[in-house]
Amino acid sequence: MTRRNIWGAAAALAAILLTVKANAQALDLTKFEAWVDLRGAVSTAGEEWLDGGFSKTRYGGTNDTNADFEIAEATALWEPRFTASLSAHLNLQAGPDQDMPFSAVEAFLRWRMPPKSPWRISAKAGRFYPPISLEHEGPAWTLTRSITPSAINSWIGEEVAVIGLEGRAARVFGDHFFDFRFSAFGFNDTAGTLLSLRGWALHDIRTVIGGSFRVPDDPVRRTIVPLQAERTRPTKELDGRVGFYASARWRYSDLIQVDILAYDNRADPNAIRNGQYGWRTKFFSGGLKYTPVEGFEILVQGMFGSTAMGPVSELDMSVLKFDDTYVSAYVLTAIESGDNRFSVRAAHFRVGKRSIESAQNPENGWAGTVAWIRPVTKHLRVGLEALYTNHDRPILGVAGRTQDVQVQTSIQLRY
């Protein structure tokens, strides 16, 4: 071996040793937290949508007033770092309102390019939520200002978790921050099922991998979509098509933040497999967060889109059984006083029916929420919330509008 080869081998060995040492220093498998959410609720809502009803809240029943006390969820969050560039996110959840006893809400690998330029480049692969919600700023896609999210972000939690790839590019220019993302995904072909057949709802239940939700047992479903299974599965691939979303965020200092996102699951509306229909679902979402002074913030978010499914007959594949539009928006104000956070939110939601088959089944409503959240200690958080909904849906066969009230408390024990 020549001297040049010896020096080359020594340099390569040194580089390997330095890389191993750096990765060993970056390795961290200990970032773990878990919590249990104890929930007590009193509600005037009718049969829960989780049991096939049309109520808008998480809790309800057959009595005029219904009381519940349960473990709403048990969650474990593990975020290991393998190298300076590679990490993972695994959010496991168990709860009484899922048919899976224990499964993952989000599970993905994240890669970050070493900081060699002003642009911060990263990517992730796995199951995750698109960057839509302004409300879910807590760990494991949880809320920080209320117990129940808006109608928009309740639906995102139900049906819009995707499995795919997301690329991200972010950069800071003085006091300005820009964030751009693009994702290609699958396993989201049934998104729109609940929105069309049940309508909007307000709750904090998040779908898990392999999980499912009950579809309302109403005349529309039995007559128009007789092959629809009793439960819809949000994580389902039916046609092999790739969906996408693209988003952008601009933030100026800590004063203002603006988000926009476009989503299209590109599902085949003629696809059906094992009682699961394909729903071609598209939407545009925009959000604004304004913090004029420390401890006071205003959130505004809106969404509009469409979802379509199933030809009326094989003779004309262009005439769909369901061709629905949907829109929702909310305004939320939050105030922090010491360790207390108070919030008030008003929301509007609507589902419009453009097809002849489903024209009898539109929905229109609004909701108001008042909440108080307080972290008592590092391991204990308490909350109290009152939620009012007012909506109409002709298919229910009830004259006028339906009004529901839900009051719930939350006690989170954290590790």
Query: Distance (Å, rounded) from C-alpha 335 to C-alpha 296?
Result: 5
Q: Please say if the pLDDT value at position 328 is more than 60.
A: yes
pLDDT of residue 224: 74
Q: Please say if the pLDDT value at position 21 is more than 60.
A: no
79: its two tokens:
């975020």
pLDDT of residue 357: 58
Q: Please say if the pLDDT value at position 5 is more than 60.
A: no
Better-predicted residue by pLDDT, 357 or 115: 115
DSSP per residue, 269-326: TT-EETTEE--EEEEEEEEEEEEEETTEEEEEEEEEEEEEEEEEETTEEEEEEEEEEE
Q: Please say if the pLDDT value at position 165 is more than 70.
A: yes
Calculate the average pLDDT of the chain.
88
pLDDT of residue 3: 44
Q: Please say if the pLDDT value at position 301 is more than 50.
A: yes
| pLDDT band of 313, cuts 50, 70, 90 | low
| pLDDT band of 10, cuts 50, 70, 90 | very low
Q: Please say if the pLDDT value at position 315 is more than 50.
A: no
Task: Look at residues 252, 247, 279, 251 and name the one whose alpha carbon lies nearest to residue 263.
Answer: 247
- Can you tell me the mean pLDDT for 86-108? 91
List the domain boundaries for the chain: 28-414
> What are the respective helix, strand and coil percentages of the chain, to the nearest 5?
10, 50, 35
Q: Which DSSP helix (H) or strand (E) runs through 12?
A: helix 3-26
Q: Please say if the pLDDT value at position 135 is more than 50.
A: yes
CATH among 3.20.20.60, 3.90.1010.10, 2.60.40.10, 2.40.160.10 for 28-414 = 2.40.160.10
Task: Look at residues 405, 399, 46, 370 and name the one whose alpha carbon lies nearest to residue 198.
Answer: 46
- Can you tell me the mean pLDDT for 401-415? 88
- pLDDT 10s digits, 343-397: 999 999 999 876 655 555 688 999 999 999 999 999 999 999 999 999 887 765 5
Q: Please say if the pLDDT value at position 81 is more than 60.
A: yes
Q: Which DSSP helix (H) or strand (E) runs through 112?
A: strand 103-112
pLDDT of residue 66: 87
